[in-house]
Structure 1
Amino acid sequence: MTTRRMTLKHIEAFRIVMQTGSMTEAARRLHTSQPQVSRLVSQLEAIVGFLLFERRGTRLLPSLDGKRFFQDVEKAFVGLEGLEGAASNIRSFGGDRLAVAAMPRIAGGLLSKAVAQFKAEHPETLLTIHSGAAATVNTWVSSGLCELGLAILYGDDVPGMQVQTLLTMDCVAVLPIGHRLAKRKQVAAADLEGEAFVSFPLGSAPRERIDRVLAAAGARTRTVLESDLGASVCALVAAGLGVSVLNPLAALEERRNLELAVRAFVPAIPVRLALLLPPDATDSRLVSAFADQVRTVIASDLEVIRPYRR
């Protein structure tokens, strides 16, 4: 003969009858019938080997053993509620930490907006923003110091890194206000012949990419200054020290605070805004959720670069 085992249904029926003092009310709360609740309680009594209730006419009173058993049942349910709380905490990333790296302009703009919106939905998550030049961002992510990076890629994927392209856009020409080329809607590489040029450092991906395009057009510029930060390049151009070519995200952000002309540039030099993940990164709900938040910000807040998006 098979021995019946105690189930959660038995315990739930007993617990609610104890709380309400009524099998009818327990049936209502459990969305079942009163005979079914009575059957579950009777089965539980057979399983535990003692009476849980004393029947006095139509009244149902807990037995002394039933009261003692109910105390242990309540302790078990407190434990279950604790597990529910733990699950909720995990589900909402409570107590989790996420370190994100980005170049200064992205960190101060797009990334900060994504962080603010993410924190509004997940206030218990601690997010840390690290800001640095492109090479520094790559190092932080590849070494595992940061779980996620945001970067502008001027060339192929970063070796040894997982890359997810968020959007592709074309570089623009940046010029001082009043420059002869600022009157045009579009600046060609050949138009920069002889111009003082603010460039990126030798050996960097943007420098090599832009130099190839200028050389192919036969445009010999005079490199007068170098910087590895788009914000600095724009500030130097706005100061009238030269012209430059760089990604539209940095240029249009800086134009809000600087006297700077931004024009379309040909031939097109496509660049990518991308998420960088460590080479051995595993699937993480937290990283995926934050990446989705970044995509949401891009879709809603980067309308300004639409003319230069692909």
Structure 2
Amino acid sequence: MIAGSIEASFSGRRANTLPLRGTHGNSIKLVYKGLAMARRLGSQHLDAFQAIVATGSMTKAARERHTSQPQISRLVGQLEDIVGFAVFARKGTRISLSPEGARLYAEIEKHYIGIASVEAAAADIRSFTTEHIRFVAMPRLAGGLLSRAVACLKHDHPETRVSIHVAGANALQERIKAGIDDIGLVMSYGQLSSEVDTIPIATLPCVCVLPPGHSLSRSAQISAADLAAEDLITFVRGSSLAAAIDGYFAQSGVQPRIVAETELGASACALVAAGIGVSLMNPIAALEESQKVDLVVRPLRAAFTATLALMYAHRLRHGLLLKRFGAYIRADLANSQGCM
């Protein structure tokens, strides 16, 4: 061992020293900074972070992780010390992702997607499956259109094993890119992503949903100007549908009177049926909900559109499966019973 002291420096936000002893009693000082740290990120830090983002609070995250709120707080504190920045912005008892935390969360999501991919591969190996097609769709489509098309596939190919998963638009795209799922069904209100292989299936003019007996239900079409004085139930900020609705009114110079926001078309329609206001949405959602609650659906004048599309794994690009599944979806749109 070299006599004296040895000093190694690493770039970061603050220096720390860790005294060590050499084999001959010499003092060795290791200076480390930032990411060259005594503690490393562990799965418990990532799990706690993900649970807080998913539930929106440390208390709920603790309940989900079957631990205490102080333990979750400690893990977050350790995580922030390790990475060198605050991952949450705190205002009283409310927390939200900091800009740096949002970037870190995107990377952590990739980590979990990778783990899910390994677990899915292991399951396939155990079951000796020769053909297993994994489908994924947004919640509305997974429970209706996608399931009916998958039923058609099973009727024609009963030996094929299928799985149906549910994900939001962004997560769905990531699952297809990562190879977790083979075919995804999406409803887009903007440009389709160029990062994933995509086939547009249909362009659908959006509609207005009204409560029974509403004065506008007598109109053959409804314009943005017609809705200027109406209470509007829209969708949460940041969603592509909310942006499309905002654009529709802005194009006509109308300031909508928003009284409620929701994440789900089913919730919007339930509020409409209860007489809280009117809403705008894609015609598939409107049709399905009008079969459950009492609603009036009318076309929009100069309507904004929704694009129904298939996202798929690159290996399926020229395959018969993709063409056949697209045909099942188109048949369902043309006939509410699909192939059944």
CA distance in 1, matches of 2:184, 2:321: 14
Give the conservation status (yes or no) of the 8 Å contact 1:101–1:131. yes
| Aligned equivalent of 1:245 | 280
Q: Deviations over 1:72-95 (max 9, x none)?
A: xxxxxxxxxxxxxxxxxxxxxx83
> Does the 8 Å contact 1:192/1:220 carry over to 2?
no
Q: Cα gap change, 1:145/1:199 in structure 2, threshold over 3 Å: closer, same or farther? A: same
Partners of 1:191 and 1:219 within 8 A in 2: no
Equivalent-residue separation in structure 2 for 1:153 and 1:174 (angstroms): 19
Q: Which moved more, 1:282-291 or 1:122-131?
A: 282-291
Deviation at residue 211 of structure 1 after TM alignment:
0.6
Paired residue for 2:226?
191
- The offset of 1:299, in angstroms, is 3.4
Q: 1:133 to 1:259 in 2, by over 3 A?
A: farther
CA contact (8 A) 2:201 2:326 kept: no
Q: Partners of 1:190 and 1:104 in 2: how far apart?
A: 31
Secondary structure of 2:255 counterpart: coil
- The one-letter amino acid paired with 1:213 is Y
Superposition misfits of 4+ residues, deviation over 6 angstroms: none
Task: Tell me which residue corresponds to 2:144.
Answer: 109
1:95 aligns with 2:130: yes
Number of aligned residue pairs: 210
Measured in 2, the distance between the counterparts of 1:230 and 1:245 equals 9
> What is the distance in 1 between the residues matched to 2:144 and 2:278?
24
Q: Give the 3-state SS of the residue equivalent to 1:231 in structure 2.
A: helix
Q: For 2:312 and 2:149, how far apart are their aligned partners in 1?
A: 17
> For 2:255, which of 203, 220, 225 is the aligned residue?
220
Structure 2 unaligned spans of 5+: 1-128
Q: In terms of Rg, which structure is larger?
A: 1
Q: Which amino acid in 1 is paired with 2:232?
A: F
Structure with greater contact order relative to length (CA < 8 Å, sep ≥ 6)? 1
Structure 1 residues 108 and 156, CA, compared in 2 at 3 Å: closer, same or farther? same
- State the match for 1:127 in structure 2: 162
How far 1:106 sits from its partner (Å)? 1.8
Correspondent of 2:191 among 156, 163, 186: 156
2:326 aligns with 291
The equivalences for 1:206-217 within 5 A come to: 206-217=241-252
5+ residue gaps in structure 1? 1-93, 304-310
CA contact (8 A) 1:152 1:272 kept: yes
3-state SS of 2:210 partner: strand
Q: Distance in 2 between matches of 1:117 and 1:214?
A: 39
Specify whether residues 178 and 166 from structure 1 end up closer, same or farther in structure 2 by C-alpha distance, changes over 3 A only: same
2: CA distance, partners of 1:229 / 1:143: 26
- Higher-helix-fraction structure: 1
- Tell me the equivalent position of 1:261: 296
- CA–CA distance in structure 2, aligned partners of residues 151 and 191 of structure 1: 30
Which letter maps to 2:263? Answer: D
Percent of residue pairs identical? 40
For residues 195-227 of structure 1, the C-alpha deviation after alignment (integer angstroms, 9 at most, x for no partner) is 221112212221112111202222222222222
Deviations along 1:26-59, one digit per CA (max 9) or x if unpaired, are xxxxxxxxxxxxxxxxxxxxxxxxxxxxxxxxxx
Q: Is the 8 A contact 1:194 1:219 kept in 2?
A: no
Pairwise CA RMSD of aligned residues?
2.2
TM-score scaled to structure 1, two decimals?
0.62
Is the 2:135–2:162 Cα contact (8 Å) retained in structure 1? Answer: yes
Distance in 2 (alpha carbons) for counterparts of 1:131 and 1:235: 22
- TM-score, normalised to structure 2's length? 0.57
Contact 1:133 1:228 in 2 (8 A): no
